[in-house]
Copies of this chain bind each other. A is one copy, B any other.
Amino acid sequence: MADPQVQHVSTIISAKWICPVRPHNITLEDHSIVIDQDRIIDIIETKKVASLYQTQEHFQFHHHIVTPGLINAHTHAAMNLFRGFADDQPLHTWLNESIWPLEKKWVTPDFVYEGTLIACAEMLKSGVTTFNEMYFYPEAASRAIKQSGMRANIGLFVMDYPSNYANDGDDYLMKGLEARDGWRDDALITSSLAPHAPYSVSDKTLSQVLTYANQLNLTMHMHVHETEDEIQESLKQYQLRPIERLNRLGILSPQFMAVHSVYLNEEDLTILSKESASVIHCPVSNLKLGSGMADISTLQKHGINICIGTDGSASNNKQDLLHDMQLASLLAKGLTKNPATLNAKTSLEMMTINAAKALGLDDRIGSIEKGKYADLTVFNMDHISTLPMYDPMSHLIYAASREEVSHVWVNGILQYEEGHFASMDIQACKDIALRWQLKLKQNI
């Protein structure tokens, strides 16, 4: 007869090491995460777990580290189909002769659905459970995301220039809000308003964005201060730096995510800090496009909430968040000439709880705590490339790669397990990629 004290639960994960992120800077040894349905209901010593819980699904990870699911705080998922299409080109050529004509010719709802699908597969196997998305045709993206089983915050893309998708600010907004109706009741998908950039969105449209954000309680997600040119153009047109302009429009707030933020002067930093806006750092993209290097250490000194994003695969060329985080940490050390800058503990927070906070989801995800949703990434450290190991947390940041990711749970569901996907047909995904490769090669 079953012990009446013993609770039957969905899943127990017993791991050698758990980095829960909250409480701060601890690594639990020989502990278990107890999951029931979609939630974490307990975290206890493994030797005690059997006396309290029983399950049909008990995972024993003897050489593994479990972290909260990683959160990619900025991407254009569908651009996976443009991965490596136009490498080693100067920025102007890249945009004007490659990416924009490609988008004009090829970007349709099918493109976005299929491109997002393959990006989801890549992100999942890279340990990402949630991503912050911005691209055309959000409805198509949402279909792929639902299929993948991932969590996402979908940006309702807005600008004042016409595209295949919409004609002007009003049209983008209308289409975005209509698309949002399709996932409003989905447990895994939330929405943000995603004005493209200061140079492509007028004050009038930005005011509308703000109105909707307030009315619907949505976050906002925008490319800001990516290049020096952008700032010079704004000074010419508005006699204001973009961040100053956004601040005057009242847009900056804890709900605002300033993607890139490569060039910030003391005034910009003070504004972002005062308004409690988040910064999404995309170091690979910033280097690859020759934009420059954000000075993360100075952002930290201003107490700004910093997260990490891959950006789209046209400028990365990977959806590999851990790689971006490692680069961010290395760059910050190199720029400050101090190996203690942006340490492993803070790096892990940037990929998890900081991003959850930026997305307004830190009550639900971003750490391994009782009551949060079971979004978990497991790294198998029993590899010749990760041994010996003296400190699991610093090993995650400096020695591990996405190839160490062995299991990924999203919302209590084991979506990825050692090369196998629960909700995705990976051969079909590869076929999609190859089909588009063939089509797009005509443009080269």
Contacts and interface: CB of A to CB of B under 8 A. Distances in A.
Interface of A: 81, 83-85, 87-91, 94, 118, 121-122, 125-126, 284, 286-293, 313, 316-320, 323, 327, 330-331, 333-334, 336-341, 343-344, 382, 384-385, 387-391, 394-395, 397-399, 401-403, 426, 429-430, 433-434, 436-437, 440-441, 444
Contact of A384 (B401, B430, B444): B430
Contacts of A398: 84, 87, 288, 316-318
B440 A338 contact: no
Contacts of A84: 388-391, 394-395, 398-399
A128 to B, nearest CB: 12
Contacts of A83: 387-390, 399
A334 B290 contact: yes
Contacts of A402: 385, 401, 403
Contacts of A125: 384-385
A429 B337 CA distance: 35
Given A284-B330, A430-B382, A340 B390 contact: no
Contact of A290 (B286, B289, B333): B333
A35 B371 CA distance: 61
A401 B403 CA distance: 9
19 contacts: A83-B389, A84-B389, A84-B395, A88-B339, A90-B340, A94-B339, A118-B387, A287-B330, A288-B330, A288-B339, A289-B333, A289-B339, A291-B334, A316-B398, A317-B398, A317-B399, A384-B429, A384-B433, A387-B437
B122 A384 contact: yes
Nearest to A395: B84
Contact of A385 (B90, B318, B395, B397): B318
A88 B316 CA distance: 26
Contact of A341 (B290, B430, B434): B290
A387 to B, nearest CB: 4
A87 B393 CA distance: 10
A287 B334 contact: yes
A437 B318 contact: no
Nearest to A120: B384
Contact of A391 (B81, B87, B126, B391): B87
A306 B125 CA distance: 35
